[in-house]
Structure 1
Amino acid sequence: MAETPIEYVSNANAVFSKNLFNIIAEKGKNIIYSPLSAHAILSLVHQGAADETAESMEQGLHLSDTKLAATGYQSVMEKLNSVNEVTLHIANKVYIHEKYNLKDEFCTTAKECYLSETEKIAFTPDTTVAAKTMNDWVENQTNNKIQNLIHPSNVNCDTRLFLINAIYFKGKWLDCFSEKWTKKEKFYLNDNDTVDCDMMQMENKFRYGEDDDLDAQIINIPYKDENLSLMIILPRSKTGIPLLEEKIATKNLTDININLVSETVILFLPKFKIESTIELNEPLTEMGMEIIFSNRAKFSNLIYSPEPLAISSVIQKAFIEVNEEGVEAAAATAGTFTFLSAYRRMEGYVFCVKKVKCSRKLKKPPKPKIFRADHGFLFYLYYQDEHNIHLIFVGKLERFDD
């Protein structure tokens, strides 16, 4: 059975996310990134590529059909921008040099499928003004969580356009943690060294599982819109993150999610906040897309101009904060195009049991599972529809900075 457009981009995003994580994850370092933000804007860039450049992007993004990708992203954006009970917004914007025009087909695709606005801008002589204009848009889209994405030094007289994606999420847990149960506890950096953290706790029903191959516990914490969840994968070993990172690369997150079952779990989860800035030129090069940064790049389907264009930089900033109420997260990704001549983030429950007469002994309820996230773990904030998991944010908590 053929993939639907939304399945097509969802599956491509999942593979892209794993490949990117394998490259950018550093030992002992926290990370937060949005595979959806990066994949969406690069998919739009792909619409303007031609020949060998388009082929390299097909392989790196796992999108061989630009029309199917465009239709798929239209469905994804419309679905995510219309979720209930939480705030979730994804937007694209094209800033183009005031003297140039987007090609008609690219402009139509950007507007209708990627829901992108287009704005003409004077990149020079005052690059500070141009950078502020674009940064103001990003800040507005992300509730001021992503600031100064574009530095004035990224703008010059050879800049022709910026393609920018922004994502903002704020969602309450389906069942919030009670602040009175948050206590100072130890978070293990390894088998011996610890730091103090604010550890939240609650006992509740969660979708839970254990994976012996990953040597890990898995829990799904739902938001008010239960199509949205935070999945946490916790290695059993306090030093198990490196091996988990290696093994997770061979796993399908959808399969892991399907195998989870409803269990009573006593959950211990630290409050945390992570911010990351990731320069994506080298990772994308390692993923096979080096040509987009070179003098061999061909983006002839992008703008009306005889000038050859290449991407000078791709950068993403991301943020996540997890607390008793829920999660706030944001990300923005910008790709910069230049003229080639210049190419250089225990709630207590009281149960009332009524005594009943019974001719046989009642079975004792099973003991709750214990999920104590007191050492490094991976996490995935995703939206799930009928058949697909859409990875919005992916991260790793391995330490608490002083």
Structure 2
Amino acid sequence: MGKTMDKIKALSGGDGIDFKPLPTSDRPVEHPSLTPPACDLPVVIAARNLKKEKRCKIAKIGLIGIFVLSIIVAVISINTIQPYIDHVQDIESRMGESKASSQGIRSDQSSSHIGLKLYNEERKKNTGNILFSPFSIQSALSMVTLGAKDNTLEQLIQFLSAPGVEDMNERVENLKKSFSSILPTLQSNENYTIETANSVFLNANFEVLETLVKDLETNFQTSFRKTDFSNSQSSASLINGWVEEKTRDKIKNLINPAALNANTMMVLVNALYFKGMWENKFEKNDTMKRTFYVSDTRSVETNFMHQKRKLLVGEYKKRTVLALPYSGDRFTMYLILPHTVRRGHERFFEDYEDTESKKDDDVSVVENELEAELLNQSFNKTKFQKEEVDLLLPSFKIEADLQLKEILQSVGVKAPFSGIEADFSGISGAKNLFLSDAVHKAFIEVNEEGSEAAAATGLIMMTRMMPAPPLQAHFDRPFVFFLRDELTGLFLFQGRVVDPTV
């Protein structure tokens, strides 16, 4: 060994590097590949696997615990935060309604103007109950207005729009904006049910301009359906079925099959349904039989609902108005009292003229005082005050049909119904359509619980290229006849029939 080290030193050149032998073991050295490290021994591997299993179990238990704890925290958070969420949503909803109200104020004004125009025409020929929906009629006519041109458009827009804007295109745009902002707010909730729907039923072979379809879908939430109007019974059933569904079976048979034929191109329909409970319901046990004075010479016995409580009281041209809110504080029934109201010996309004010796005004006097703008200003609950009131209100139910075509023509909407003058070229691009009929039905029931009401309006549109009616060739009286040979021109027979039975 010493000799070997001397040789190594000699080879190293004597640079001072001292090579020492490494320590060795007394045991024989085995080949490294045949000797496993201590960490790879079976007992170590088993111990390591056991530790891994324990760690996995601990991790799983921890994850499960975290998951369960998360669920518990989430449930507690939801229950704690939900009232605040509901409050925020309610605020957003009210903001949306407020925004719609501000954007749709022209539509609100239009609604009162439309209502009074129709009401004044209807009461000229109807001495009984009157009921209709200004909003439903406004909706249907507004849809068809989007396809009107020239004088047809002018007459429709004059009827539908409140005064104030002269530019025709601007008034149409206001119309669309009003409905696009108002319709999304007409949604039911836990306090009331309010639903409105628009639909256009088209002849299977009739195509509508894409611009109109887009306008109606975007602004009026209108659906489109195809049908074969030559089968009038089937088409009427389709439309009436849709109306019945949307009005909860309150409006039936809106469209008469006789009003439809192969020349019918489209029928535009609006349906409206409302159901609301009174904010302060009437007790059924307080309902009583009382006399209702139909006229000076006629009276009837009927059920009167009764309440004695503080109610919202306002005025319209020095006449007392009661506001009866429905649950949810969005919808209200306003009632103009037909006589002077007193609180003991005091009148509700001190500047009433003395009516001690005067007879209560006839309802026609009240009707003559109705003004659209003033109604909008006066029917505002925020201006009303609470007064102790002894209220007697008859329960009632009204179902009514309105001869809408006749009324519209009487207030100046004539061009749309003229087969010659009507211009609805904005519908299909062709100037060959006109309104053949306009129909409206309404229903309302008022009782101790609240009110349920429904209405539907239908506009029937036809093409003016109608075939001439068949010649009435009825030989039901004496006539002469000839039998002629067309080849030779000879009259082979000639005669007269006076009595075909002889």
Please classify the TM superposition score into its range, dividing by the shorter chain length.
0.7 to 0.9
Bigger relative contact order, structure 1 or 2 (CA pairs below 8 A, ≥6 apart): 1
**Would you say 1:10 and 2:108 are equivalent positions?**
yes
Equivalent position of 1:245 in the other structure: 367
Please give the alpha-carbon distance, in whole angstroms, between the structure 2 residues aligned to 1:39 and 1:27.
Answer: 22
Please give the alpha-carbon distance, in whole angstroms, between the structure 1 residues aligned to 2:149 and 2:446.
Answer: 42
Please give the alpha-carbon distance, in whole angstroms, between the structure 2 residues aligned to 1:46 and 1:144.
Answer: 28
The structure whose Rg is larger is 2
Residue of structure 1 aligned with 2:219, choices 101, 107, 113: 113
Residue of structure 2 aligned with 1:52, choices 151, 161, 170: 151
**Would you say 1:89 and 2:214 are equivalent positions?**
no
Equivalent position of 1:267 in the other structure: 391
Equivalent position of 1:298 in the other structure: 423
- Any idea what the Cα deviations from partners look like across 1:175-194, whole Å, max 9, x if unmatched? 11011011111000123521
User: More deviation in 254-263 or 167-176?
Assistant: 254-263
Equivalent position of 1:142 in the other structure: 247
What is the Cα deviation at residue 307 of structure 1?
5.5
Amino acid at match of 1:224: S
Please give the alpha-carbon distance, in whole angstroms, between the structure 1 residues aligned to 2:307 and 2:196.
Answer: 31
What is the Cα deviation at residue 27 of structure 1?
5.2
Sequence identity of aligned pairs in percent? 30
Is the contact between residue 205 and residue 264 of structure 1 (CA under 8 Å) also seen in structure 2?
yes
Equivalent position of 2:122 in the other structure: 24
**Would you say 1:313 and 2:437 are equivalent positions?**
yes
Residue of structure 2 aligned with 1:323, choices 433, 447, 453: 447
Equivalent position of 2:206 in the other structure: 100
Residues 250, 52 of structure 1: alpha-carbon distance in 2 compared, 3 angstrom cutoff: closer
Amino acid at match of 2:133: S
**Would you say 1:222 and 2:325 are equivalent positions?**
yes
Higher strand share: 1
Q: Secondary structure at the match of 1:29?
A: coil
Equivalent position of 2:134 in the other structure: 35
- Any idea what the Cα deviations from partners look like across 1:215-261, whole Å, max 9, x if unmatched? x3210101012110011112216552111111113662122224432
> Can you give the 5+ residue segments of structure 1 that lack an aligned partner in the other structure?
345-402
- Any idea what the Cα deviations from partners look like across 1:124-180, whole Å, max 9, x if unmatched? 1x2111100000000000000000000110110100000000000011001110110
What is the Cα deviation at residue 5 of structure 1?
3.6
Higher helix share: 2
Please give the alpha-carbon distance, in whole angstroms, between the structure 2 residues aligned to 1:83 and 1:301.
Answer: 37
Residues 79, 181 of structure 1: alpha-carbon distance in 2 compared, 3 angstrom cutoff: same
What is the Cα deviation at residue 264 of structure 1?
1.8
User: More deviation in 262-271 or 25-34?
Assistant: 25-34
Residues 27, 53 of structure 1: alpha-carbon distance in 2 compared, 3 angstrom cutoff: closer
What is the Cα deviation at residue 82 of structure 1?
4.8
Between Structure 1 and Structure 2, how many residues are aligned?
Answer: 338
Q: Secondary structure at the match of 2:197?
A: strand
Is the contact between residue 106 and residue 161 of structure 2 (CA under 8 Å) also seen in structure 1?
no
User: More deviation in 318-327 or 63-72?
Assistant: 63-72
Residue of structure 1 aligned with 2:403, choices 276, 279, 284: 279
Amino acid at match of 1:14: S
Length-normalised TM-score, structure 1: 0.80
Length-normalised TM-score, structure 2: 0.65
> Can you give the 5+ residue segments of structure 2 that lack an aligned partner in the other structure?
1-100, 163-167, 340-358, 469-502
Is the contact between residue 191 and residue 238 of structure 1 (CA under 8 Å) also seen in structure 2?
no
